[in-house]
Amino acid sequence: MPAERLSRWLAHQGLTSRRGAERLMREGRVLVNQQPAPAEGRMIDPEADVIEVDGRRVEPRGSSHRYLAVNKPIGVVSTVRDPEGRPTVMELAADAKGLYPVGRLDRDSRGLLLLTDDGELALRLTHPRYGAPKTYRVTLAGQLSAAQLQQLRRGPVLEDGPSRPLRVRVLHQVGERVELLITLSEGRRREVRRMVEAVGSRVVDLERTEFAGIRLGTLPEGAVRDLSGAEVSRLRSGVGLD
């Protein structure tokens, strides 16, 4: 098994987040082969090294998959590679070999995108059968009438069939800008933008803030973080894998 950064490995075991693991090391609570782990962390061999936290050995949970959350900026495409030479989301992650995006986020949209090498999980998260919810903060140009809002909530009919939003909530409506929170269980191409256009409005900004229970939170634009073990378990149980 290849070497792995200790903080990432501890996070994958479901003990804490990667940042929490770094705190445990700074506090001297993590031992590697009976020696305190350096505060700045280290590389380990999970098969050969003995890892202890607070005096208890941490056993591998048997998965070598990786799970990342990315805050995708506008202008970055959600593909492994792009024949037109545009920047891809893979370039944001260090050592992204073997990973691929879970679904897509339009080039002109921003926000939460997941990367993994867990093919079974990725398939279920993007398959309509499992209805993994996705939430978007959407800014519209101009006012939105009560009739338009009602039409959005009912789900306007698009060229590939009726849309079925789980929730549409108004966050702010001031001057010439309206902010909505829209949650969908589908993953059709540019569905939010097409829904808004179908009721006679236009999207000026679209940010995905949550996907299948994983939240973007305060992750800076362009930044990447490992999912915690608890987050991975929540993803898997949400699509019937655990």
Q: Is 108 a catalytic residue?
A: no
The closest of 76, 30, 81 to 56, measured between CA atoms, is 30
Catalytic residue among 45, 54, 95, 106: 106
- Name every residue whose Cβ is closer than 8 Å to that of residue 5 and which is 6 or more positions away in sequence: 41, 42, 43, 44
- Residue 211 CA to residue 132 CA, distance in Å, equals 7
Catalytic residues: 106
